[in-house]
Structure 1
Amino acid sequence: MKTTVLGRAGLLVLLAGQLLPMIDFSIVNVALEAMAHTLHATPLQLELIVAVYGIAFAVCLAMGGRAGDNFGRRRVFTLGVLLFALASLLCGMANSVWLMLLARGLQGIGAALVVPQVLATLHVCLQGRAHARAIGLYGGIGGLAFIVGQVLGGFLIGADIGGYGWRSVFLINIPICLVVLLLVQRYVPETRNTQRVSIDLAGTSLLAASIASLMIALSLGPLLHWSWPCLLLLLLFPLLLQRLWRVEQQLEARHGAPLLSPALLRLPSVNFAIGIALLFFSSWSGFMFAVALTLQSGIGLTAFQSGNAFIALGVAYFLGSLLTTRMAERYGRLTMLLSGCAIQMSGLVWLMLTFHFAWGNIAIVTLIPSTALIGFGQSFIVSCFYRIGLAEVPKCQAGSGSAMLSTVQQAALGLGPMLSGSIFSQVLLHKANYQQAIIAALLAEWLIMLLLVVRALLVRRQLLPQPGNR
């Protein structure tokens, strides 16, 4: 029996499918030290294991959204979950760094097929308050999964179920994928656009090349002392982005279907949401990577203890997410965004002071006040990203719009460990001091969040009159 409407059961299936890719962004962080011993991985290779998933995810997201628009969102969602399960099995069986990198790339492709179908299906099938609640859950679960990944990964490695150690953080995906595959056909309606549009291969190639140039430069820069090849790749990044923009404009002028639609990018709400993604999500993933590495390699906590250190952040994030729908309706999205930034930035300052004054006595309890503030503020910011970004997107472009927003978001998440990792590694190389390295990385995040606040204040007058602001 096939459903024709998206009910509560269908919503849960979609959110379960969304949970898997989001968890795998962070679950690997607490497994890094164990993986390094088993796979004989260098610090650079560990950064790549974290980043390659996000980069593959980001580059293929827009194609995943387009495929769902053309061939059916439920069908593509099912294919993505199946590929994700097979890639997770390959990750769990990997016996070398290069096989792990291949498997993580395949995981990213599977995730890119899954995620845009979730947001597009919600956008098409739901309206009014039901739509607002679903988007709030989407944003809340997406962010909470990042924290759950850290905690769950630490538990699985500490429990060492079946003697699989760090491999269990990947193998746990397989039974969850099977349950989703069993339920999706029954409870999730099939939706697609009435007209098919072609896939923008030129735009996809340029996007991949631009992200790869930045990722390679940031990963190799500290190790090669920023020699001329690294600087050349950094210079190449904006040139490739400029070329990508021109190609997309030309395709739009020919009435084609560009990967990153210039028409959508011209919408004030979409433009601002992309700024949120670039600034916030890159600093967020970098924060999780740098703090997890510091807690284990710098302070000497176990993977289980490191994962538990994020419980307060996760609980605070979840509680904050429950308030976002009512807060957005009452105070407006921009006010909620600025409030979230203020709360999170206060938590970052507290965490820096904690690392500075209590370095020799850091424990899970010591981190609770600062990480709880950070998580509570983050829940407001993540919720605002989706609410603002989709406010002006027409329903007929739901797949393209959600995929474009998710592309930028996942690219930022993928590059975050490289950005923060570059600062972290640079300080660590020169000072050989984890305390100074983590404080420098956290200070960089605080400054990035300050840029987001300034950007929000500058566009406040432009966006407030828009009917979709709330």
Structure 2
Amino acid sequence: MNTSVVSPGRAGLILLLTGQMLPLIDTSITNVALNSITHSLQATATELELIVALYGVAFAVCLAPGSKLGDNLGRRRLFMWGVAGFGLASLLCGMAGNIAQLLAARIVQGAGAALIVPQILATLHVTLKGSAHAKALSLFGGIGGIAFIVGQMGGGWLVSADIAGLGWRNAFFINVPVCLLVLALCRRYVPETRRETPSRIDWTGTLLLALLLCCLLFPMALGPQWHWSWPLKAALIGTLPLGYLMILNARKKEREDAHPLIPLRLLQLNSIRFGILIAMLFFSVWSGFMFCMALTMQTGLGMAPWQSGNSFIALGVTYFISAWFAPRLIARYSTSTILLTGLSIQMVGLLALIATFKHWGMHNTALTLAPATGLIGYGQALIVNSFYRIGMRDIQPDDAGAASAILSTLQQAALGLGPAMFGAILLHALQNHHGDYTQAVNIFLIVETAMMLALALATLRMRQHLRLPVVKTCQAVK
């Protein structure tokens, strides 16, 4: 690692965190623009799922190669490439004349985000020490709540304001000047860092992962609309040989002393396995919740985009507060306790939301939804803060990058698959209940609560393994 790098300073830190906010804000903005996109491009509910899901899958597939490219070619350089690609894709999203063009631009946008995000954490890690490092990581962890609030409120206002008659397109165009500003200042304030010894990228593993995720994504997204025709069933069955080929490829890479996309020896660790379980259950529930709730509020409750955005302010505020204080709680209590607390609070919030829809039905407002969504947001932040600490618990320093790539890739894959999974559940429930959103939304909320209960039971089973000295956890994360 280059030891002569300098600190990014306050201006550099702001630029890096702004880059981090771009993909996070974009997710929120896209959710509040769903109904406007439906009317403008005559999009179906399945196509709306793909608008969200393809972005997440492209993000997941390109994340590990993006991290390796940053290590080899320079993290500031890849950060700037990612910002430029993200800005160009945002412009193309706003100019899209049909759904096919929008979906293609969203894939490029996800790839751009995957170049941005790995460089930020790596740059902070190698350029900052001591208290400055700790503060930067706290900001890195808490920025999600701020981005969520800005995306929901700002996106809702942009779409509703209909500036220059562009409607939902402004939600994407707003990224362009922000990207240009970051690019203009990046060379001056962000230091360049890279690995001294380049590492090879597992392109075969990356391709297999892309194919596997597509074989999961498209059947789940298109299944209800295509009545689970044989090509969709064949694609689902195809995930089995693709998974086997990924294992063979990983074994081959390890025999050659190369670096497979997912090192099999790390999958032997209980901490990594449990981290994968958290990633697949929690993050799919999280993204599925945001998509289905946005669709319910705009299409079902008839809320305007700004009203839909404001309905999640309580969630964003409590998420930020919880994320800010979570490191102090983790310093005092075991990670399993924090995780169980977060899961319990989120399940109470989900049950409260079910009760809210049963009582208020289609007359819900941002005010009636606030208590339940506030609880959900507070619990979510505790779970997110526990995720990497648990997953990285048994990882040696030399394996930190590979383990982080596994967890991050699966996290983003789950975020991409969540809208397809729970969107299909919501649409199926709507068909069975003759378009009754009150019944349909509660069905998908019950499924999400059950998944969080399963994760809580798994945590209780793993509790003895997860109770460890705080210092060891911190060292593993670093």
Letter in 2 for 1:236: G
TM-score by length of structure 1 reads 0.94
| Of 14, 17, 20, the match for 2:19 | 17
Q: Please give the alpha-carbon distance, in whole angstroms, between the structure 1 residues aligned to 2:167 and 2:260.
A: 44
Residue equivalent to 2:277: 275
Q: Please give the alpha-carbon distance, in whole angstroms, between the structure 1 residues aligned to 2:405 and 2:11.
A: 24
2:353–2:372 contact (8 Å) kept in structure 1: yes
Deviations 1:189-223 (A, max 9, x none): 22211211221111011100110000011012112
Q: Please give the alpha-carbon distance, in whole angstroms, between the structure 1 residues aligned to 2:448 and 2:262.
A: 27
Residue equivalent to 1:179: 181
How far apart are residue 449 of structure 1 and its match? 0.9
How far apart are residue 154 of structure 1 and its match? 0.9
Residue equivalent to 1:468: 472
- CA 1:455–1:19 in structure 2 vs 1: closer, same or farther (change >3 Å)? same
Most deviating of 242-251 and 102-111: 242-251
2:322–2:378 contact (8 Å) kept in structure 1: yes
Q: Please give the alpha-carbon distance, in whole angstroms, between the structure 2 residues aligned to 1:135 and 1:264.
A: 25
The 5 A counterparts of 1:106-185 are 106-142=108-144, 144-185=146-187
Q: Please give the alpha-carbon distance, in whole angstroms, between the structure 1 residues aligned to 2:6 and 2:129.
A: 15
2:5–2:127 contact (8 Å) kept in structure 1: no
Letter in 2 for 1:454: L
2:7–2:128 contact (8 Å) kept in structure 1: no
TM-score by length of structure 2 reads 0.93
Deviations 1:80-104 (A, max 9, x none): 0011111111111111111111111
How far apart are residue 79 of structure 1 and its match? 0.7
Q: Which ranges of structure 2 fall in alignment gaps of 5 or more residues?
A: none
Letter in 2 for 1:428: L
The 5 A counterparts of 1:56-455 are 56-142=58-144, 144-394=146-396, 396-432=398-434, 433-455=436-458
Q: CA RMSD in A?
A: 2.0
2:9 corresponds to 1:7? yes
Most deviating of 168-177 and 145-154: 145-154
Q: How many residues align?
A: 469
Letter in 1 for 2:428: Q
Deviations 1:244-295 (A, max 9, x none): 1231122112101111223443444333222211111110010011011111
- CA 1:131–1:332 in structure 2 vs 1: closer, same or farther (change >3 Å)? farther
How far apart are residue 393 of structure 1 and its match? 4.5
How far apart are residue 321 of structure 1 and its match? 1.4
- CA 1:376–1:124 in structure 2 vs 1: closer, same or farther (change >3 Å)? same
Letter in 1 for 2:94: G
Letter in 1 for 2:356: T
Letter in 1 for 2:368: T
How far apart are residue 391 of structure 1 and its match? 4.6
Letter in 1 for 2:119: Q
2:312–2:373 contact (8 Å) kept in structure 1: yes
Deviations 1:300-337 (A, max 9, x none): 11111111100111111111111111111111322111
Letter in 1 for 2:110: G
Most deviating of 262-271 and 35-44: 262-271
1:354–1:366 contact (8 Å) kept in structure 2: yes
- CA 1:401–1:151 in structure 2 vs 1: closer, same or farther (change >3 Å)? farther
2:144–2:320 contact (8 Å) kept in structure 1: no
- CA 1:123–1:273 in structure 2 vs 1: closer, same or farther (change >3 Å)? farther
Q: Please give the alpha-carbon distance, in whole angstroms, between the structure 1 residues aligned to 2:402 and 2:188.
A: 26
Letter in 1 for 2:473: N
2:284–2:418 contact (8 Å) kept in structure 1: yes
1:347–1:371 contact (8 Å) kept in structure 2: yes
Q: Please give the alpha-carbon distance, in whole angstroms, between the structure 2 residues aligned to 1:437 and 1:196.
A: 51
Q: Please give the alpha-carbon distance, in whole angstroms, between the structure 1 residues aligned to 2:203 and 2:6.
A: 33
Q: Please give the alpha-carbon distance, in whole angstroms, between the structure 2 residues aligned to 1:392 and 1:144.
A: 31
Deviations 1:170-195 (A, max 9, x none): 01111111222123222322221121
Q: Please give the alpha-carbon distance, in whole angstroms, between the structure 2 residues aligned to 1:294 and 1:157.
A: 17
1:31–1:154 contact (8 Å) kept in structure 2: yes
Residue equivalent to 1:30: 32
How far apart are residue 390 of structure 1 and its match? 4.1
1:327–1:336 contact (8 Å) kept in structure 2: yes
SS at match of 1:460: helix
Identity, % of aligned pairs? 51
SS at match of 1:262: coil
Q: Please give the alpha-carbon distance, in whole angstroms, between the structure 2 residues aligned to 1:104 and 1:331.
A: 41
Q: Which ranges of structure 1 fall in alignment gaps of 5 or more residues?
A: none
1:26–1:150 contact (8 Å) kept in structure 2: yes
Q: Please give the alpha-carbon distance, in whole angstroms, between the structure 2 residues aligned to 1:411 and 1:463.
A: 24
Deviations 1:335-390 (A, max 9, x none): 11111111111000000010011114211111111011111111111122233334
1:135–1:386 contact (8 Å) kept in structure 2: no
2:392–2:473 contact (8 Å) kept in structure 1: no
Deviations 1:10-44 (A, max 9, x none): 22221111110122223111111111121122221
Residue equivalent to 2:54: 52
1:65–1:400 contact (8 Å) kept in structure 2: no
How far apart are residue 130 of structure 1 and its match? 4.0
How far apart are residue 165 of structure 1 and its match? 0.9
SS at match of 1:223: helix
2:124–2:136 contact (8 Å) kept in structure 1: yes
Q: Please give the alpha-carbon distance, in whole angstroms, between the structure 2 residues aligned to 1:63 and 1:124.
A: 19
